[in-house]
A and B are shown apart, each in its own frame.
Chain A
Amino acid sequence: MMQLWRAAFVIARRDFTAVVFSRTFILFLLGPLLPILIGFAFGGLGDKISSTDLRPIVGVAMSAADTSALKRAHDRLAQRMGDQTLPRLRAVPSAPAPRIQLARPDSAVVAILSGTLLKPVLTGKAEDLDKLQGDISLLSTAALAERTLTFVTVDRQEVTTSLGAQAQARLLIGRVAQVVMFFLTILLAGMILSNLVEEKTNKIIEILAAAVPIDAIFLGKLMAMLAMSFVGIAFWGGTAFAVFLALYGGGGVLPAPAVGWPLFLMLAVLYFAMAYTLLGSLFLGIGAQAATVREVQTLNMPITMAQMLIFFFASYAVDHMGSPAEIAACIFPFSSPFAMIARAAQDGAVWPHLLALVWQASFVALIIRVGVLLFRRHVMQSGGSWWKRLFRPATG
């Protein structure tokens, strides 16, 4: 076992230094920051687009008095409910009929409100009417009651804690952690697919295979790529934290996850490592069978789709704590790290995490072993039935 780990460390050190001390690694580090910078640059414009253009516009083909009353009601309600909650109103001519106006190529409204405030008629497509009917009813009612409509004042009674709000916040933390972990995994683990191609094309695999167990080669490569990922994450995380401090000056208070921030962060690191090595070992095993970079590229698409499925499964489970789906997501090895980090945000029990980590680690070992045996069988053309060798020592 010592020989295995020593050899894995030698391979890992070579791979790690080869990647980290290359010029392309700077691009790797800066790459994910580019979208953020672009986002900052165009953020203002984006906000404007989302706040104005996306609300549906309803044409009002009523009398001038009714139209004015509707607009006043809209403004009063928008003050309390927020500008984004109600559709925009725009006066349109009462003739021709709304049906004809909506059929015109230059029509800029989704639906047209005609008739009177007492008996409004909304014309439009069925699915648009479904969405707008309630809002228009509210606006018409408010417009009718214009003079008599008074808003009740709500007294505020503040509390320091609200379990409901805390649960909501924890759910959000779980979701964010899942998304961040998933994207880091999908961005970084995919690189492992092509990891053994260099050794195969340069004929180095023969030297490695003669000197160390192939398990050590796989393990070393995983360790190197994981270490490289941590360097990237430390860089991106540090940058994100600096930006956060610059924007909020350390004044923002984040709600705490169920297990507390220190343990949560530690679990996040461990679960990321597990998600990475689980997918990485699978990728390494699949990629090792590929003979060329082209084959590796072809494999990328189905693997990414499978990852997406796993992520959707895990993210569905976040909202259903304790349900069979959530437990299944925690047990299924590939979704387990994502489901468990969400659990850490919402449930304070620690022991399930210890169990999950052991479970996930044992699957990493199993996947590596199967990948190695398939590699020996199909690439090195060695050995008989691979399953018979599954639990033999790596050096045997």
Chain B
Amino acid sequence: MGPDYQGRMIGDITASSPASIPAYAVEGHGLVKTFGSFRAVDGIDIAVPAGSIYGVLGPNGAGKTTLLRTLLGIIDPDEGHRTLLGEDQPLRMAPQVGYLPEERGLYPSMKAYEAIAFMGALRGLPLAEGRKRAKAMLDAHGMGAAIDKPIRHLSKGMAQTVQLFGTIVHGPRLIVLDEPFSGLDAINQEKLEALIRSQARDGVTILFSTHVIAHAERLCERIAIVAGGRIRFEGTPGDARDRLRSQVRLRTRASDGAWRHALPADTMAQEGTWHFALPDEGIEPLLRALIDGQAGIESLSIERPGLHDAFVAIAGEAAARQMQGDVTQEAQP
């Protein structure tokens, strides 16, 4: 499945898509969803720009799946409202939406191409057309031999690919993928990333959840970091990274001297290397102090934090805050 093939294929399918495109493909305001006393989604506001690749990031149990299910109309929120492609009754837009749930599911006795066509038919694609497209997709993906095979005879990866094709066979304007990379090997993850990019190039909005940050870092234009049922950060991956200061690693020949007073207060020494956050005033004043104090600079590197660092910091901070809140609540009479 190369980007060229997908671009051509999906381009054909989406030719019939309606022209009216809202600014935000998905919107949710004040969404709350509780299960018993557990608030899985706790007052979330979200807006996914049309045509973007948007990632919902969060640790396990953060509320990502519940949020996606609420936005898609699979479950109704207890509070708040949502729109999907401008429609406040999400199921009405089902023919223009593709959804790959976290828990994969297919009828084991169905043939691969029938399963894809069936999923398309559920969203309004005529069965005959769905079968034709399914066969073409499987063929182009090197799965021609599996076209007529029942799902139960396919490997897990192949079955997941079949389900993914079923998600896009009808040419949706919005694709929602819940943990799409889980269970895929590295090659198939690469292919999926290529597919997501090619869909986005065709103007399809992609909303996906993941707890593997590398995928989001490579793909997403915007992200939302969810923890404890709330959005803790929303913006571009660059914005998230910018929330953390760059880290400086410094190695000196001298182990002590007057220059040490120039190092920031939070500096830590580890195996002969000084670690500290880049000072607000920049590196130049420090460099001058090190040279004047004859520290003997062996190496100095400034590392910009990755999205992973930002995610761990934001989600970790949220978890700590939540834990503190729980303790405070328990301590109250």
Q: Which residues of A contact B (CB under 8 A)?
A: 3, 6-7, 10-11, 13-14, 18, 22, 198-199, 202-213, 376, 380-384, 395-396
A-B residue pairs in contact (CB < 8 Å), sample of 25: A3-B92, A6-B124, A7-B122, A10-B122, A11-B122, A14-B110, A198-B107, A202-B107, A205-B105, A206-B74, A207-B99, A207-B119, A207-B122, A210-B72, A210-B94, A211-B94, A211-B122, A211-B123, A212-B94, A376-B76, A380-B75, A382-B76, A383-B75, A384-B76, A395-B91
The minimal Cβ–Cβ distance linking A121 to chain B, given in whole angstroms, is 75
Establish whether residues B101 and A206, one from each chain, have CB atoms under 8 Å apart when the complex forms.
yes
The minimal Cβ–Cβ distance linking A147 to chain B, given in whole angstroms, is 82
Establish whether residues B89 and A209, one from each chain, have CB atoms under 8 Å apart when the complex forms.
no
Establish whether residues B75 and A381, one from each chain, have CB atoms under 8 Å apart when the complex forms.
yes
Question: In the complex, how many residue pairs between chain A and chain B have their CB atoms under 8 Å apart?
Answer: 76
**When chains A and B are docked, how far (Å) is the Cα of A381 from the Cα of B109?**
28
Establish whether residues A209 and B76, one from each chain, have CB atoms under 8 Å apart when the complex forms.
no
**When chains A and B are docked, how far (Å) is the Cα of A224 from the Cα of B78?**
34
The minimal Cβ–Cβ distance linking A372 to chain B, given in whole angstroms, is 13
Establish whether residues B92 and A395, one from each chain, have CB atoms under 8 Å apart when the complex forms.
yes
Does B118 lie at the interface of the complex (its beta carbon under 8 Å from any beta carbon of A)?
Answer: yes
> Residue of A at shortest CB range from B178?
A206
Which residue of B72, B78, B122, B124 is within 8 Å of A384 (Cβ)? B78
Q: Which residues of B contact A (CB under 8 A)?
A: 35, 69, 72-76, 78, 89, 91-92, 94, 97, 99, 101, 103-110, 118-119, 121-124, 127, 166
Establish whether residues A204 and B107, one from each chain, have CB atoms under 8 Å apart when the complex forms.
yes
> Residue of B at shortest CB range from A217?
B122
In the bound complex, residues from chain A placing their C-beta under 8 Å from that of B118 are 10, 14
Considering the complex of A and B, which 3 residue pairs feature the smallest CB-CB distances, nearest first? A203-B105, A382-B75, A211-B122
The minimal Cβ–Cβ distance linking B206 to chain A, given in whole angstroms, is 16
**When chains A and B are docked, how far (Å) is the Cα of A198 from the Cα of B109?**
11
**When chains A and B are docked, how far (Å) is the Cα of A203 from the Cα of B106?**
7
Query: Contacts A6-B124, A210-B72 hold; do A203 and B101 have CB atoms under 8 A apart?
Result: yes
> Residue of A at shortest CB range from B125?
A10
**When chains A and B are docked, how far (Å) is the Cα of A18 from the Cα of B94?**
24
In the bound complex, residues from chain A placing their C-beta under 8 Å from that of B121 are 10
**When chains A and B are docked, how far (Å) is the Cα of A311 from the Cα of B76?**
40
Establish whether residues A212 and B119, one from each chain, have CB atoms under 8 Å apart when the complex forms.
no
In the bound complex, residues from chain B placing their C-beta under 8 Å from that of A395 are 89, 91-92
**When chains A and B are docked, how far (Å) is the Cα of A6 from the Cα of B275?**
64
The minimal Cβ–Cβ distance linking B11 to chain A, given in whole angstroms, is 23
Query: Contacts A212-B91, A382-B74, A382-B76 hold; do A206 and B103 have CB atoms under 8 A apart?
Result: yes
> Residue of A at shortest CB range from B72?
A210
Establish whether residues B72 and A381, one from each chain, have CB atoms under 8 Å apart when the complex forms.
no
Which residue of B72, B76, B105 is within 8 Å of A204 (Cβ)? B105
Establish whether residues B74 and A18, one from each chain, have CB atoms under 8 Å apart when the complex forms.
no
In the bound complex, residues from chain A placing their C-beta under 8 Å from that of B123 are 211
**When chains A and B are docked, how far (Å) is the Cα of A199 from the Cα of B105?**
8
> Residue of B at shortest CB range from A204?
B105
**When chains A and B are docked, how far (Å) is the Cα of A202 from the Cα of B78?**
27
Establish whether residues A396 and B105, one from each chain, have CB atoms under 8 Å apart when the complex forms.
no
**When chains A and B are docked, how far (Å) is the Cα of A202 from the Cα of B151?**
12
> Residue of B at shortest CB range from A206?
B101
In the bound complex, residues from chain A placing their C-beta under 8 Å from that of B110 are 14, 18
**When chains A and B are docked, how far (Å) is the Cα of A14 from the Cα of B76?**
27
> Residue of B at shortest CB range from A11?
B122
In the bound complex, residues from chain A placing their C-beta under 8 Å from that of B109 are 18, 22
Establish whether residues B107 and A210, one from each chain, have CB atoms under 8 Å apart when the complex forms.
no
The minimal Cβ–Cβ distance linking A393 to chain B, given in whole angstroms, is 8
**When chains A and B are docked, how far (Å) is the Cα of A372 from the Cα of B105?**
21
Establish whether residues A210 and B99, one from each chain, have CB atoms under 8 Å apart when the complex forms.
yes
In the bound complex, residues from chain B placing their C-beta under 8 Å from that of A202 are 105-108
Using A199-B105, A203-B105 as known contacts, list a sample of 8 further A-B pairs with CB atoms less than 8 Å apart, ordered by residue number in A: A198-B107, A202-B105, A202-B107, A207-B119, A210-B69, A210-B72, A382-B74, A382-B75
**When chains A and B are docked, how far (Å) is the Cα of A204 from the Cα of B99?**
12
* Chain B CB within 10 Å, residue with most, of A7, A204, A205: A204
Query: Contacts A210-B99, A211-B122, A212-B94 hold; do A381 and B35 have CB atoms under 8 A apart?
Result: yes
Query: Contacts A207-B99, A380-B75, A381-B35 hold; do A14 and B124 have CB atoms under 8 A apart?
Result: no
**When chains A and B are docked, how far (Å) is the Cα of A104 from the Cα of B121?**
78
In the bound complex, residues from chain A placing their C-beta under 8 Å from that of B105 are 199, 202-207
**When chains A and B are docked, how far (Å) is the Cα of A332 from the Cα of B333?**
56
The minimal Cβ–Cβ distance linking B74 to chain A, given in whole angstroms, is 5
Query: Contacts A382-B74, A383-B75, A395-B91 hold; do A212 and B122 have CB atoms under 8 A apart?
Result: yes
In the bound complex, residues from chain A placing their C-beta under 8 Å from that of B35 are 381
**When chains A and B are docked, how far (Å) is the Cα of A212 from the Cα of B101?**
15
Establish whether residues A380 and B74, one from each chain, have CB atoms under 8 Å apart when the complex forms.
yes
> Residue of A at shortest CB range from B118?
A14
**When chains A and B are docked, how far (Å) is the Cα of A213 from the Cα of B121?**
14
**When chains A and B are docked, how far (Å) is the Cα of A45 from the Cα of B315?**
81
The minimal Cβ–Cβ distance linking B159 to chain A, given in whole angstroms, is 11
The minimal Cβ–Cβ distance linking A160 to chain B, given in whole angstroms, is 57
